[in-house]
Structures are given as C-alpha cells and as structure tokens.
Amino acid sequence: MEAIGGTVFRRALSEVKEQIHEENVAAMKADVAQLKAEHAKAHADRKAKLQEKINQLDSKIQAQLQNAKDRREASQRRAQANVQVLKAKAAEIKAKAS
C-alpha cells in the first residue's frame, strides 16, 4: 500500500463489530422517530400499521442491545477464564522451579 501512497489502518474486530452494531441501532432509532412522526399525522387505519412497525423496530433495538450486552459479558467471562488458566500455569511453573 505504501508504494501506491496508501495507508493501512488496523482495528480490532470487536471494535468494528461494535461500531456496526451502534450504526444499526442508530439507524433503527431514526426509523422509529420517522414512523412516530408519520403516526402523529396519519389517519386511524394507518396509525395502527405504523404503530405495529414502531413496536417491531423497538423490539429489534432491544434485541440488538441485549445481544451486544451478552457478547460483552461472554467476552469478559472468556478473559477471566484465560487469566485463571495463566495464573494456574504460572503457579505450576513456580512450583516446579522451587
């Protein structure tokens, strides 16, 4: 890339996934806001359909947020497990060295 004047930027996959998640949630929230504005101006029959779409988007947003929370918690559990394994290995090596 350097030869053609480009620059390579590296990011952790988790950062990219988090950014995509945040963008998806933001887009859905914008859709909800737009639907709510339409809902306020719509006639009764149209209001019911718009409210259903709003409810569906709200459900998707909550699911996305819960999935992100679950992923973070799982990642933290994996990190803690790795720490425990490394501590056990260090203790084993220390015991052998004594």
The model carries a pTM of 0.56
- 18 contacts: CB under 8 Å, gap ≥ 6: 68
User: Is 61 a residue whose pLDDT tops 90?
Assistant: yes
pLDDT (0 to 100) of residue 46: 82
Within 8 A by CB and 6+ apart from 45, the residues are none
Of 38, 34, 28, 32, residue with least CA distance to 54: 32
Q: Residue 96: what pLDDT?
A: 86
> According to the model, what pLDDT value does residue 15 have?
87
More confident position, 36 or 2: 36
pLDDT at 49 over 80: yes
Inform me whether the pLDDT recorded for 26 exceeds 80. Answer: yes
pLDDT given at position 41: 82
Query: And the tokens for 7?
Result: 């620059």
